[in-house]
């Protein structure tokens, strides 16, 4: 997964929970032993820093992530539903919570361009599914 993020020009640093930034720790309110990453990327010409944490993992069915930025909090839930021996459905749910006026404007612009945003989102989730399907079974 880290290789995918780096290929998209994202700076990714895996966190040791002991060194997590205090303001992010207060905002996310999770256990100290969770897996996390500091990510840095550009959106609309500005550098963004996001701390992402894996907050729940139920092998092999679901994962829940929480991403924290001073302006925006996001929850991402990925659920894998087996349909048959050779077919699986991936359900992805994302929830955005804005904390500043600028983040509110970003969320509102995403709502206005919902169909285009949903199309991009489905495309990227499809690419993730293809990547997962090519991985060797553990």
Each residue of 120-136: pLDDT tens digit?
Answer: 888 988 888 888 778 77
SS3 59: coil
pLDDT tens digits, one per residue of 41-66: 887 788 888 898 988 888 888 889 99
- Contacts of residue 115, defined as CB under 8 A and 6 or more positions apart, other chains included, come to none
pLDDT tens digits, one per residue of 71-124: 889 999 999 888 888 888 888 898 989 899 988 888 888 888 888 888 988 898
Fold of 2-134: Alpha-D-Glucose-1,6-Bisphosphate; Chain A, domain 4 (3.30.530)
Confirm if 115 and 96 have CB atoms less than 8 A apart. Answer: no
**Which of 116, 127, 68 is closest to 92 using CA atoms?**
127
Angle at CA 95, nearest 5°, toward 20 and 71?
Answer: 50
- Contacts of residue 39, defined as CB under 8 A and 6 or more positions apart, other chains included, come to 5, 10, 11, 12, 13, 49, 50, 51, 52
Per-residue pLDDT, averaged over 21-40, amounts to: 60
Q: For residue 74, what pLDDT is reported?
A: 92
């Amino acid at each position: 997964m880290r290789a995918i993020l780096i290929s998209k020009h994202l700076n990714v640093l895996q966190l040791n929970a002991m060194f997590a930034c205090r303001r992010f720790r207060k905002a996310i309110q999770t256990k100290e032993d969770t897996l996390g990453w500091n990510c840095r990327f550009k959106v609309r010409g500005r550098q963004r820093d996001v701390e992402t944490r894996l907050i729940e993992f139920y092998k092999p069915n679901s994962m829940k992530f929480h991403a924290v930025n001073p302006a925006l909090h996001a929850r991402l839930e990925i659920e894998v539903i087996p349909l048959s021996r050779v077919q699986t459905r991936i359900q992805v749910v994302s929830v955005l919570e804005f904390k500043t006026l600028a983040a509110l404007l970003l969320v509102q612009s995403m709502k206005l361009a919902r169909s285009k945003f949903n199309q991009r989102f489905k495309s990227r989730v499809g690419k993730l599914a293809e990547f997962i399907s090519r991985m060797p079974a553990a």
